[in-house]
Amino acid sequence: MNISLPPLVALLLFPGGLVLLISGLVYEYADRKLVARYQNRIGPRWFQPLADMIKLLAKEEVIPTGVIKGLFIFLPIVALTAILTAALYVPMFGFKPAYSFSGDLIVTVYLLSLMTLCIGLAGANTEDRFSLVGATRALTQMFSYEAPFLFALLGPAIALGTWNIGTINAAAGQNLWFIIAQPLGFLAALIGLMGKLELSPFDAPEAETEIVAGALTEYSGRGLALFRIGRDVELVIGLTLVASFFLGGLGSPLDFLWKTLILLLVTAALQSLFARLRIDQTVGLWWRWGSILILAQLILIVIGRFVGPFIPFLGRG
């Protein structure tokens, strides 16, 4: 679907800004409710994320001693800004991306990983030992999933010969769905997304049974609220990205809804199925299996692109 909006509306209201924040809250609710239902619980009420957010924003923000004050206040804002900016290049809600240029895939992936970087910096900024351990783990985990995640998204990009998210989204629907053509890439992208969001099997960086609350231990009130909403929005953007690449593109809001909800169903199942991995297990999983399989698939795709035109059956797969 193609609509053009005035830039200010695009930034503040529709694909960016307000609607994005609200959809972040809605998806957090859906995620928590699904996990609760998988665990045979009733789960939170529909306004739970909103109540959490308002409560956190209304709470006192403690600035602990020993931190660089400006950095402490500024980091949550940078994290949220990066995530909101990333949304402008992604086909949110099934509409055409608000802005696009060739190669915006790389920019989007970088903007999405800025969140983890900010969390790592926030943890390293405080003197608290739990924050420090959490920050180390968050950054270690980032180095393990980031490369396979990028390679997984590059699969469709190389197969279609364009690094523009909008073009890939439009072209993905016309070919064989990439979840069938590149199942390994789909798996790596989805699980990498869970690692990015520090969802359950990959939540060693904020393991509350060992290191209190990880890198965000010292954050209270406003800072915590901004990091949380940033992560919610990152969930929506990540699901949109994976759905548009691997599930045949997003042509309309209805497409967006059912495709992202199916992905959410799968991630919620994975969250409730698996227990937390140790940080060395996470790194081992990605570098021993994830990266090698993804690299093998990437090489196959590159070979396929050279050989493909000579074999009529393979076409542009």
Partner 1 sequence: MTSPIEGVMDKVKTWARVNSPWAIHFNSGSCNGCDIEILATLTPRYDVERFGIKLQGSPRHADVLICTGPVTLQARDRLVRIYEQMPEPKFVVAVGSCGISGGVFQGCYGVVGDIGDVIPVNVYVPGCPPRPEAIIYGVVQLLKSLQS
Q: Which residues contribute to the site for partner 1 (CB under 8 A)?
A: 32, 36, 39-45, 47-48, 50-55, 58-62, 130, 208-209, 211-213, 216-221, 224
Q: How far apart are CA 208 and CA 176, in angstroms?
A: 43
Instruction: Give 126 or 297: the residue with its C-beta nearer to partner 1.
Output: 126
Q: Write down the least CB distance from residue 19 to partner 1, Å.
A: 21
Q: Write down the least CB distance from residue 134 to partner 1, Å.
A: 10
Kindly tell me the burial class for residue 315, based on how many C-beta atoms sit within 10 Å of its own C-beta (0-12, 13-18, 19 or more).
Answer: exposed
Q: Write down the least CB distance from residue 262 to partner 1, Å.
A: 24
Q: Write down the least CB distance from residue 26 to partner 1, Å.
A: 16
Q: How far apart are CA 16 and CA 22, in angstroms?
A: 11
Instruction: Give 11 or 26: the residue with its C-beta nearer to partner 1.
Output: 26
Instruction: Give 130 or 186: the residue with its C-beta nearer to partner 1.
Output: 130
Q: Write down the least CB distance from residue 277 to partner 1, Å.
A: 18
Q: What letter would DSSP give residue 206? A: G
Instruction: Give 104 or 128: the residue with its C-beta nearer to partner 1.
Output: 128
Kindly tell me the burial class for residue 8, based on how many C-beta atoms sit within 10 Å of its own C-beta (0-12, 13-18, 19 or more).
Answer: exposed
- H helix runs in the chain, sequence order: 7-12, 17-38, 48-58, 69-86, 104-125, 129-160, 165-172, 178-181, 183-196, 222-246, 253-273, 279-284, 291-307
Q: Write down the least CB distance from residue 31 to partner 1, Å.
A: 12
Instruction: Give 146 or 232: the residue with its C-beta nearer to partner 1.
Output: 232
Token pair belonging to 94? 């099934």
With vertex at residue 45, the alpha carbon angle to CA 257 and CA 22, rounded to the nearest 5 degrees, is 45
Instruction: Give 48 or 291: the residue with its C-beta nearer to partner 1.
Output: 48
288-294 long-range Cβ contacts below 8 angstroms, 24+ apart: 290/145, 290/148, 290/188, 290/191, 290/192, 291/147, 291/148, 291/151, 293/184, 293/188, 294/148, 294/151, 294/152, 294/155, 294/184, 294/185, 294/188
Instruction: Give 62 or 311: the residue with its C-beta nearer to partner 1.
Output: 62
Q: Write down the least CB distance from residue 100 to partner 1, Å.
A: 38
